[in-house]
Amino acid sequence: MERISKERFDQIFTGWGGHKILVLGDVMLDEYLWGNVSRISPEAPVPVVEIAEESVKLGGAANVALNVKSLGDAPILVGVVGDDRNSERMMSALNEAQIKSDGIFVDNPRMTTIKTRVIAHNQQVVRADRENTEEIPDKLIEKIMEFVKKKIPDIHAIIISDYGKGMITHTLLHELIELCKQNNVFISVDPKDTHFMNYKRVSLITPNHQEAGFVYGKRIKDESILKEVGWGLLEKLKVEALLVTRGEKGMSLFEANRTLTHFPTRAREVYDVTGAGDTVISAFTCAVAAEAKYKEAALISNHAAGLVVGEVGAAQVNKEELMEELENFINSAAYTH
Domains of the chain, first to last: 6-28+59-112+133-331 (3.40.1190.20)
Q: What is the pLDDT of residue 330?
A: 82
Tell me whether residue 278 is one of the annotated catalytic residues: yes
The dihedral through the CA atoms of 188, 316, 292, 98 has a sign that is: positive
Average confidence score pLDDT of the chain: 90
Q: Which of 134, 56, 122, 126 is nearest to 95 (CA)?
A: 56
> pLDDT tens, 10-19?
899 889 999 9
**Torsion (CA) 56, 308, 4, 212 in degrees, nearest 10:** -90
Q: Given the residues 30, 73, 272, 278, select the one marked as catalytic.
A: 278
Dump strand ranges (E) for 41-113: 47-60, 74-81, 104-106
- pLDDT-derived band at 315 (thresholds 50, 70, 90) equals low
Task: Centre a 10 Å sphere on the Cβ of residue 18 and count the other Cβ atoms it contains.
Answer: 11
- The yes-or-no verdict on residue 99 having pLDDT over 80 is yes
- Report percent pLDDT > 90 for the chain: 74
pLDDT-derived band of residue 122, with 50, 70 and 90 as boundaries? confident
Q: In this structure, are residues 241 and 254 in contact, taking their beta carbons and an 8 Å threshold?
A: yes
Question: pLDDT band at 307, cuts 50/70/90?
Answer: confident
**Does 269 score more than 50 pLDDT?**
yes
Q: Annotate 177-231 with DSSP letters as a single string.
A: HHHHHHHT-EEEEE--GGGGGG-TT-SEE--BHHHHHHHHTS---SHHHHHHHHH
Q: What is the pLDDT of residue 267?
A: 56
Q: How far apart are CA 120 and CA 110, in angstroms?
A: 31
Of 118 and 307, the one with more pLDDT:
118
The reported pLDDT for the residue numbered 337 is 45
Give the H or E element holding residue 262: strand 260-263
User: Which of 118, 109, 112 lies closest to 90, judged by CA?
Assistant: 112
What local confidence, expressed as pLDDT, does residue 311 receive?
54
- Residue 298 to residue 293: CA distance in whole angstroms: 9
pLDDT digits (tens, 9 = 90+) for 52-90: 999 999 999 999 999 999 999 999 999 999 999 999 999
- Amino acid at the residue 24: L
Taking only the tens place, the pLDDT of each residue in 137-147 is 999 999 999 99
pLDDT digits (tens, 9 = 90+) for 152-167: 999 999 999 999 999 9
What is the distance between the alpha carbons of residues 122 and 49, in angstroms, rounded to a whole number?
Answer: 12
Range 24-41 average pLDDT: 94
Q: Please compute the mean of the pLDDT values over residues 191-214 and round it to a whole number.
A: 91
pLDDT on residue 70 = 93
* 3-state SS, residue 163: coil
Cα 253 from chain centroid? 16
Question: What are residue 79's DSSP bridge partners?
Answer: 104
Contact 248, 265 (CB under 8 A): yes
Q: Name the amino acid, one letter, at 74.
A: A
